[in-house]
Structure 1
Amino acid sequence: MSNLVICQNFLCPSIARINLCFHRVFFPKVSAESPSLPCDVKSRLRKASIHSELRELIVSVTSSNLKKHAASAMKSSRALRMQTTLGCLSRLVSRSFVSGVVNTKEPCHAQNPHGPPSDQTRLVTAVSGFPKQKTGYNIDHILKGQIGEDAYFVARHVDDWNNNLVDETMPQYLLHPEANRGQASPAKSPSNRANTANTTSSPMVASNAGVQSLRNSSSNSADVIGVADGVGGWRQYGVDPGLFSSHLMKNCERLVKAGYLVSNHPAKLLAQGFREMKECKQQIMGSSTACVMMLSHADLKLYTANIGDSGFLVVRRGEVVHRSQEQQHSFNTPFQLSLPPSEMASDVLSDHPESADRYEFNVEDGDVIMLATDGIFDNVPDSLLVDEISAKVSSPDLVAPSHDELTARLQQCANSIALIARKLSQDPDFLSPFAQNARANGFRMSGGKEDDITVLLAAVRIS
């Protein structure tokens, strides 16, 4: 008990001094935070103040308190050991505070010469949809990113680098190591016209100088959205198809929020998310299509990676200016990422993330992007999608909305498109896009295709 009293008497005044010091560190005087001072001057003043406060604290703790309680502690060998322990603890705590606080850097936000600041560029989003099974509607699941066998995510990462040193542990080096060697990475780039299936290769060369330049202009900052559609055929093997698509999207979302992305390489993000699923000890079986899209804050371009029959379209002033194309092995057999059990590996379609079609194009303020699974594209013609988006979101007759108004318009439009898709999928007499594709492949059919429906709308806001 005596040792406990000694320890308590020693630590209480020290803890009070530490709290006072840290209060001054994190809530400094106005003079040190004057807006008229340059950023580097603020940093030096802050460091000097912190260093002075902590030095006084260390001297007080190690001399006054230790000497005061050392006399009483010398009465027994146990008290002597306690004194030694507390002395070591004091030195360790002091060094930790000095190295951990004094070396803390304050961000200095310089004006970005290559475009608008990252916090002024964003995608304003809204999501809606219906599961295929009428009894499977659960708003909690939808809010968590899952609609039946479909899944989606919305994430944003903004870099805040405050020095000009290139670090090879940066996320873009980990996911894009060839950039450090100056190698080229091919990417498919479609024509700017809608409904164009041809893509051309354009090199993306990232040298050390290029990475340095991008980093200085918030190169790794991006808004990222994605959708995935679990392959329903796994249900006959007792596997929930929604688990695969959900985990794939959650992996991508987590990587984005942690900064492990390259803002112009969504295919690499998709590949990393899939790789983590393969390396998981409790492997999740299944298959999924996927479409991931990034709005890079560095160059205000959209970069997309699409594998399978999920996809996107971009509407500008009432016209489709960009659209993805389906990837099909044969009719109703899309490309897909798969993790089958070993005994079924030879019988299951399994495409590589590198097989994804990649697109890149410039965007403008007010562009509306629709990212969706095949439950939308199989049932709703493009013309009807454009009419809904134009009427509810991007009509020139509408006054430029605030952020909240724009979000409300997008949500209303997403709900409308999801409801239209659901109704048309249940109409046996409607000649749906799916029925038209079936007839083009020699199958006589009409009506819609009942499926999980997921629609994610995003408006480009550059202010």
Structure 2
Amino acid sequence: MDPTLSEDAHFVLSVAWATPEAESLQYVGIADGVGSWRGLGVDPREFPQRLMFWAQQYILSTAPSVSGSAVVDQPRPAPKPLEVLSAAWEMVMGEKAVGSSTACIATLDYSLDQLTFSNIGDNGVVVLRHIDSDIAGYMRERRTPRHLRTSDLRIAFISQQQLRSFNLPYQLGYTNVPAGGTFETPRDAVNTSFPIMPGDIVILATDGLYDNMELDEMCDIAQEWETKWFGGAMRGLDKQDNAAAADLAARLAQRARELSLDTSRDSPFALLAKENDIMWGGGMPDDVTVVVMRIVNKLSSKFQFAQDIPPPVGRALGPLPGQNSI
């Protein structure tokens, strides 16, 4: 319950970067520090916090200079998530910050209407879509008659996890101990783009969410949220509503925490543990970081975001831009 002890780190950054499609660009980053470093006297928060800090700094360093409403210099192409992740990793390695972390950097490519991300480890990116709506009829679920369905909101995309073995994800890291182990590099990341549509709900989260919550329950929570805030599916797409996105992020994070402490049911983590001959029951207590995006129509603001995670603590070079915690 003490947010300062969170081993996750994140950022949400909006940068003035005019393109034919948008006035600004948005980037999101999440990282999950490896808690076992505490047993070696290392603060596991430092590595992910530094990684996210330098990711923001790199994005800001490449953005066009703006004076008033005029662009001072000719903007270069916006950096792709892998470029951002690689630059941040090189800076952290140069600092020799001991620790390790999973990481995911994501952005929206407005020119192609795609969610683009670079992910290393077991962070998750999920896109929820109204599969049976008119705009996505080609993906509709055909097994259940339409009049018997309670919702057409379902999983359109889920990212690939990278695991060396059960509960041992790929991770970026540094150790000052000779022969202290090897880590992955950004070259090992999964780099993916997925088409997005108005009405899509994008969820980026650390494994604290996915280890404890079934995907079906995630859809149910999102459906209830849509009804509360917009009166139903595919509504309210002409303007952004950050308060609504913040509410869904909070709902998911709080429900994941409840499930993580529930010993009466087997979580997704427990079921997978049993499949790997490891006796585990109940939930998986862990830090939870959730970032929610809802895609709106192009004629209005294209992107809204919120996240449910305490601000980072520990050593930093300065204020971290883009923090918008609830």
User: 1:149·1:229 contact (CA, 8 Å) conserved in 2?
Assistant: yes
Runs (5+) with no aligned partner, structure 2? 64-75, 131-152, 300-326
User: 1:262·1:269 contact (CA, 8 Å) conserved in 2?
Assistant: no
* Structure 1 vs Structure 2 CA RMSD: 2.3
User: 2:10·2:28 contact (CA, 8 Å) conserved in 1?
Assistant: yes
Residue identity (%): 31
Deviation at 1:438, TM superposition (A): 0.5
Measure, in 2, the Cα distance between the counterparts of 1:354 and 1:451: 27
**Aligned counterpart in structure 2 of residue 330 of structure 1, from 162, 165, 169:** 165
User: 1:337·1:352 contact (CA, 8 Å) conserved in 2?
Assistant: yes
Q: Output the amino acid matched with 1:453.
A: V
**Aligned counterpart in structure 2 of residue 284 of structure 1, from 97, 105, 110:** 97
Deviation at 1:257, TM superposition (A): 2.6
1:156 maps to which residue?
A: 14
User: 1:264·1:296 contact (CA, 8 Å) conserved in 2?
Assistant: no
User: 1:302·1:361 contact (CA, 8 Å) conserved in 2?
Assistant: yes
Counterparts in 2 of 1:219 and 1:285: CA distance versus 1, 3 Å: farther
1:368 maps to which residue?
A: 201
Deviation at 1:390, TM superposition (A): 2.2
Measure, in 1, the Cα distance between the counterparts of 2:110 and 2:83: 18
1:242 maps to which residue?
A: 45
2:3 maps to which residue?
A: 137
User: 2:198·2:237 contact (CA, 8 Å) conserved in 1?
Assistant: no
User: 1:151·1:249 contact (CA, 8 Å) conserved in 2?
Assistant: yes
Q: Which has the higher helix share?
A: 1
Measure, in 1, the Cα distance between the counterparts of 2:88 and 2:206: 19
Partner SS state of residue 26, structure 2: strand
- Kindly indicate whether residue 191 of structure 2 is the aligned counterpart of residue 358 of structure 1: yes
Measure, in 2, the Cα distance between the counterparts of 1:303 and 1:360: 4
Deviation at 1:137, TM superposition (A): 2.7
- For residues 233-253 of structure 1, the C-alpha deviation after alignment (integer angstroms, 9 at most, x for no partner) is 111111111111111111112
- Kindly indicate whether residue 301 of structure 2 is the aligned counterpart of residue 435 of structure 1: no
Measure, in 2, the Cα distance between the counterparts of 1:349 and 1:374: 22
1:459 maps to which residue?
A: 294
Measure, in 2, the Cα distance between the counterparts of 1:257 and 1:403: 26
Runs (5+) with no aligned partner, structure 1? 1-133, 139-146, 161-215
Counterparts in 2 of 1:355 and 1:220: CA distance versus 1, 3 Å: farther
The 5-angstrom pairing of residues 180-259 of structure 1 reads 217=20, 222-259=25-62
1:293 maps to which residue?
A: 106
Deviation at 1:325, TM superposition (A): 1.7
Deviation at 1:279, TM superposition (A): 2.0
The 5-angstrom pairing of residues 21-40 of structure 1 reads none
User: 1:221·1:263 contact (CA, 8 Å) conserved in 2?
Assistant: no
1:66 maps to which residue?
A: none
Partner SS state of residue 347, structure 1: coil
Q: Output the amino acid matched with 2:167.
A: N
Q: Output the amino acid matched with 1:269.
A: V
Q: Which has the higher strand share?
A: 2
Measure, in 2, the Cα distance between the counterparts of 1:351 and 1:385: 30
Measure, in 1, the Cα distance between the counterparts of 2:110 and 2:104: 20
User: 1:220·1:262 contact (CA, 8 Å) conserved in 2?
Assistant: no
Partner SS state of residue 282, structure 2: coil
> Is the radius of gyration larger for structure 1 or structure 2?
1
**Aligned counterpart in structure 2 of residue 421 of structure 1, from 250, 256, 261:** 256
- Kindly indicate whether residue 128 of structure 2 is the aligned counterpart of residue 304 of structure 1: no
Counterparts in 2 of 1:257 and 1:403: CA distance versus 1, 3 Å: farther
TM normalised by structure 1 equals 0.53
Worse-superposed segment, 221-230 or 254-263:
254-263
